[in-house]
Structure 1
Amino acid sequence: MAIGLDVPTPPEPENPEEYDYEKCPFYGHLSVRGQTREGTVVSTDMEKTVIVEREYDVFVPKYDRYMKRRSRIPAHVPGVLEPLEVGDEVKIAETRPLSKTKSHVVVQVLGGDE
């Protein structure tokens, strides 16, 4: 609970000299704030970034039914949590903008596609 969330702290980095402490919420100075969300990793094509997709239901009053929607959120992967694979369930937390599109960071790997 070092970052203010109820998530386990991963082990320390193997190469402290080469580790990017600036974008790590566990061993660096990156603060997490705002919302936490859970989703599935659907893309790992970029370095240190994954695309997390979450599906949710929206009520449509006109038809008195629910409609499925999905959102795709780019999230930074700290070096202590790598490597992630497509299908992994992760928890992401909101943070300051890390790049043009990234404002979330992966804080916990919940499970895989088994």
Structure 2
Amino acid sequence: MTLNIGLKVKAPSRECTDAHCPFHGKLSVRGKLFDGKVTSNKAKQTITLQKESPIYYLKFKRYARSKNTIHAHVPECIDVQTGDHVLTAECRPISKSVSYVVVEVKA
């Protein structure tokens, strides 16, 4: 049984028993959405993703690149590899540095 998480995303086809899965567990999502590129998936059920966004400096009348790095939990029902573009949603803190969960892998 797949739960409706309140976002217009494609639900995963596999079932899982992960308690921290927004689709099959009891984890609720709220707040910000991050769309970024996976830079590392070495940790167990955790990825590191990087989001690039331009910042405008009024003094120099130029744009500069800014990078934000966040850690996100990966449920068992979603397969993520390094280099994938993923959509993550904010959730309650799962650990000291993980407050986001992967919701969808974009092609």
The question of a shared fold, defined as TM-score above 0.5 by the shorter chain, is answered with yes
Say yes or no: does 1:27 pair with 2:24: yes
User: What's the C-alpha RMSD, in Å, of the aligned pairs?
Assistant: 1.2
The AA in structure 2 aligned to 1:72 is: T
**Runs of 4 or more off by more than 2 Å in structure 1?**
none
The AA in structure 1 aligned to 2:86 is: V
The AA in structure 2 aligned to 1:61 is: L
Q: Distance in 2 between the 1:28 and 1:12 partners? A: 13
Identity within the alignment, %: 40
The AA in structure 1 aligned to 2:97 is: T
The AA in structure 2 aligned to 1:108 is: E
Structure 2 unaligned segments of length 5 or more: list them.
none
Alpha-carbon deviation of 1:12? 3.7
TM-score (ref. length: structure 1): 0.88
Say yes or no: does 1:2 pair with 2:25: no
Structure 1 unaligned segments of length 5 or more: list them.
none
Q: Distance in 2 between the 1:53 and 1:37 partners? A: 9
The AA in structure 2 aligned to 1:56 is: S
Aligned to 1:58: 55
Say which of 52, 67, 78 aligns to 1:81: 78
Alpha-carbon deviation of 1:37? 1.4
Aligned to 1:69: 66
How many pairs are equivalent? 105
Q: Distance in 1 between the 2:4 and 2:65 partners? A: 35
